[in-house]
Amino acid sequence: MINAAIVGLGWWGQNHVTASEGSDRIRFTRAVDLAPANVQEFCDGHGLTLTDSYEDALNDPDIDAVVLVTPHSQHTDQILAGAAAGKHVLTEKPFALKKADGERAATAMNEAGLTLGIGHNYRYGPAIQEIKRIIESGDLGEVHHIEANLSHQGQIGIEGWRRASVEAPTGGIVHFGAHMIDIMCWYGGPMREVYGQLTSHILENDCGSVLVKFENEITGYLANLMTTPATMHLQVMGSKGWARTNGWMDAHKVTLCFGAGAVEDGGGAVNEIELTARDIISQIRANDENFAAACEGTETYLFTPEEMAHTAAIHEAIARSAASGQPTQV
């Protein structure tokens, strides 16, 4: 059992605590929040010792790991402090916003021999994992192209650090597009080049899109809107067929097309797989428990530090590309 401190008890930090209730792998016993009066009732109800100091959690010998639900720009320094204190660290996405910061954080944790986690709960979704299995089976043949869109209006009318340009220089590409960047790399490998564009309609940089080239010559397309109702679309296209899922974060259906066919019949045999649903809270629990088991050395974590650092490089490259109007190397 891993004893953990949750750092940042906003709505998403509270989701981590709620998701872990009854787990035999991870237990939150301490909380850190800069406005303790606002979360005291929640902490009392969940048996959390509350403080406003991150150092208190790092200095607590009973704490094995910290889970960071803090402003993106703070992640690197907080990870470095966790590594120095001998604590395993899981940070919410994005891992970092600059390549150098991502590499520093990953290196520090590797050198300390500690487990590094990332809050990309989407990888634990049934449809996302099924498409990964299908790719690895070879049924799609050689993957040629990946398209992804994860959009929602949830930031409209919301104030706070998440809306600050320093925390989200590419708007929704940072917020929810980060999930799809992770999945696209999980499916296609490292990205080599990005070509991003941003527009502003209701919020600053609320519509973004990115053309992608992967190191292995796969191409891709990523989009995020903060101006439209919640939606998700993910499609992987290969030489023998394609796989697609859509809906929202609990997507559990995969549509498949295999084989060449006549144009009039759609060009191939299409069928749909329905999987056991796993809601968002269950995905968070699965990630936190996988992380905890990796801390104890009983499971392999689904992510590597190198993958996390690479996503930081991608975010920086997209921001530079959108500002320059030119394709940019990752």
For the chain, what's the residue count? 330
Q: pTM score, two decimals?
A: 0.95
* Mean pLDDT of all residues in 291-301: 98
The tokens of 222 are what? 């990523």
Let me know: does 118 contact 90? Beta carbons within 8 Å. yes
Judged against a pLDDT cut of 80, whether residue 158 lies above it is answered with no
pLDDT in tens, 52-72: 999 999 999 999 999 999 999
Q: Give 117's strand partners.
A: 90
Let me know: does 295 contact 144? Beta carbons within 8 Å. no
> Of 268 and 103, which is predicted with more confidence?
103
Domain ranges of the chain: 2-121, 125-282+311-329
The tokens of 112 are what? 């300390």
CA 290 to chain centre: 15
Judged against a pLDDT cut of 80, whether residue 16 lies above it is answered with yes
Cβ atoms within 10 Å of 161's Cβ, excluding its own: 14
* Mean pLDDT of all residues in 265-294: 92
Evaluate the omega torsion of the peptide bond into residue 190 and state whether it is cis, within 30 degrees of 0. no
The phi, psi pair for 293, rounded to 5°, reads -65, -35
The tokens of 243 are what? 């796989």
Q: Specify the CATH superfamily of domain 2-121.
A: NAD(P)-binding Rossmann-like Domain (3.40.50.720)
Residue 22 pLDDT grade (very low, low, confident, very high; cuts 50, 70, 90): very high
Q: What is the CATH number of domain 125-282+311-329?
A: 3.30.360.10
The predicted structure's pLDDT at residue 266: 60
Three-state SS at 241? strand
